[in-house]
């Protein structure tokens, strides 16, 4: 009986140790997954959209089209797909007979980057860019015949970046040089969007003369706004190209794009850091920011929450362990997606996260195997001495 007692006690202790390791392991990784999913819930949005508007026509307004295309290139680079970008260009200077570089648009005299490129998708062009179409786009009041590519298919979980550039004045912006949109029009459109649950948060940016007056009439919640110049101020061009013959970009937009060029999809740079980068000596105007309608602190709002895409995470049940590094190593060969899919079908993956990171439910097979091996070795040793 004594030998049997001394044999049972170690067995129970070892079994308890094994279950503790397994339970702690599982709880730890479940918590890791929960923490990851809660990490960016400060905003609570699930998708990002961009509405980019060049409202100016004619060759001498070349810079306004370059402004808009520069912003288009940036939001695409940071992860917003074309399906979530509405691009409105009132003129096509790339095909203008005076363009010495046909089918191209440049924003600096070195001409090292063609903003027009081969992968541009213009949703509204030429005479389609009107005040009516812009307001219908925002509010969703479009004709049934309008294709999906020309619709702003947002919902209450959408963050919307609205960028506008052109010629303006106190509380108005010109469209096509023959009609105007007022600050009241945009404010009422945003209110309709809020009432119809068409946005979660809006970031409004405008580059025009007296730009800050364009957001002065906003009254809907969750709107962060910024502009290039105060009441009575002009918004100036930045650089001329002697071969093109006109200014190719505005100072305010050039500063913003230069700042955004230094961030990537995983950047932790905030809105406040962008606003702090505003420099009168570079812009020659006083850029403004309005935050009273926005419930969050701009210093805690990432730029990528409006300029970037949203990475999705899929959760599947799992009991077994998967080697995350194996998938990361294979990602460059193009096999990672297939491996992740197969692993999910086998029930091996707990969470598939961005950048190919895979979290497993249990710590690793190595740990569990060695705990089991130690238990067996101890039992064999006890049996030998007690036998």
Residue tagged active-site, from 29, 64, 167, 200 = 167
Which residue stretches of the chain are H helix? 2-38, 62-77, 131-139, 183-195, 251-260, 271-276, 280-283, 304-307, 324-330, 336-345, 365-386
167 is catalytic: yes
Residue tagged active-site, from 54, 64, 200, 209 = 209
Percentages of the chain per state (helix, strand, coil), in multiples of 5: 45, 15, 40
29 is catalytic: no
From CA 21, how far away is CA 364, in angstroms rounded?
Answer: 11
Question: CA dist 269 to 94, 163, 262, 272, 281, Å?
Answer: 33, 20, 10, 8, 23
Q: Specify whether the CB–CB gap between 308 and 78 falls below 8 A.
A: yes
Q: Tokens in use for 285?
A: 């105007």
Rounded to 5°, angle at Cα 218 from 215 and 224 = 70
How many other C-beta atoms are found inside a 10 Å radius of the C-beta of residue 73?
A: 21
Q: Tokens in use for 334?
A: 């193009």
From CA 34, how far away is CA 353, in angstroms rounded?
Answer: 12
Smallest CA-to-CA distance from 279 within 259, 308, 261 is with 259
Q: Which residues does the annotation mark as catalytic?
A: 167, 209
């Amino acid at each position: 009986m004594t030998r049997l007692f001394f044999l049972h006690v170690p067995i129970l202790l070892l079994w308890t140790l094994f279950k503790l390791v397994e339970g702690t392991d599982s709880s730890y990784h479940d918590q890791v997954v929960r923490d990851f999913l809660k990490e960016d819930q400060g905003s609570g949005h699930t998708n990002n959209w961009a509405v980019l508007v060049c409202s100016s026509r004619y060759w001498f307004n070349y810079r306004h089209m370059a402004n808009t295309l520069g912003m288009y290139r940036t939001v695409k680079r940071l992860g917003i797909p074309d399906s979530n970008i509405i691009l409105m260009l009132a003129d096509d200077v790339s095909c203008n007979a005076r363009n010495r570089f046909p089918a191209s648009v440049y924003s600096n005299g070195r001409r090292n980057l063609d903003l027009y490129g081969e992968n541009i998708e213009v949703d509204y062009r030429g005479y389609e860019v009107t005040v009516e179409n812009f307001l219908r786009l925002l509010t969703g009041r479009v004709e049934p015949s309008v294709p999906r590519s020309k619709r702003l298919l947002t919902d209450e979980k959408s963050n919307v970046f609205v960028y506008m550039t052109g010629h303006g004045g106190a509380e108005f912006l010109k469209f096509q040089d023959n009609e105007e949109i007022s600050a009241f029009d945009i404010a009422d459109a945003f209110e309709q969007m809020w009432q119809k649950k068409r946005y979660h948060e809006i970031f409004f940016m405008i580059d025009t003369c007296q730009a800050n007056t364009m957001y002065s009439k906003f009254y809907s919640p969750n709107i962060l706004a910024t502009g290039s110049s105060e009441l009575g101020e002009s918004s100036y061009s930045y650089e001329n190209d002697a071969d093109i013959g006109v200014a190719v970009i505005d100072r305010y937009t050039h500063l913003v794009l230069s700042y955004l060029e230094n961030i990537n999809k995983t950047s932790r740079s905030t809105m406040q850091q962008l606003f702090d980068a505003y420099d009168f000596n570079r812009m020659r105007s006083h850029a403004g920011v309005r935050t009273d309608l926005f419930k969050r602190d701009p210093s805690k709002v990432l730029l990528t929450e409006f300029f970037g895409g949203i990475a999705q995470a899929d959760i599947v049940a799992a009991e077994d362990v998967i080697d995350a590094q194996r998938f990361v190593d294979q990602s460059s060969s193009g096999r990672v997606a297939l491996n992740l899919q197969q692993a999910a079908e086998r029930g091996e993956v707990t969470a598939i996260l961005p950048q190919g990171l895979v979290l497993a439910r249990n710590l690793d097979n190595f740990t569990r195997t060695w705990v089991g091996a130690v238990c067996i070795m101890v039992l064999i040793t006890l049996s030998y001495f007690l036998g």
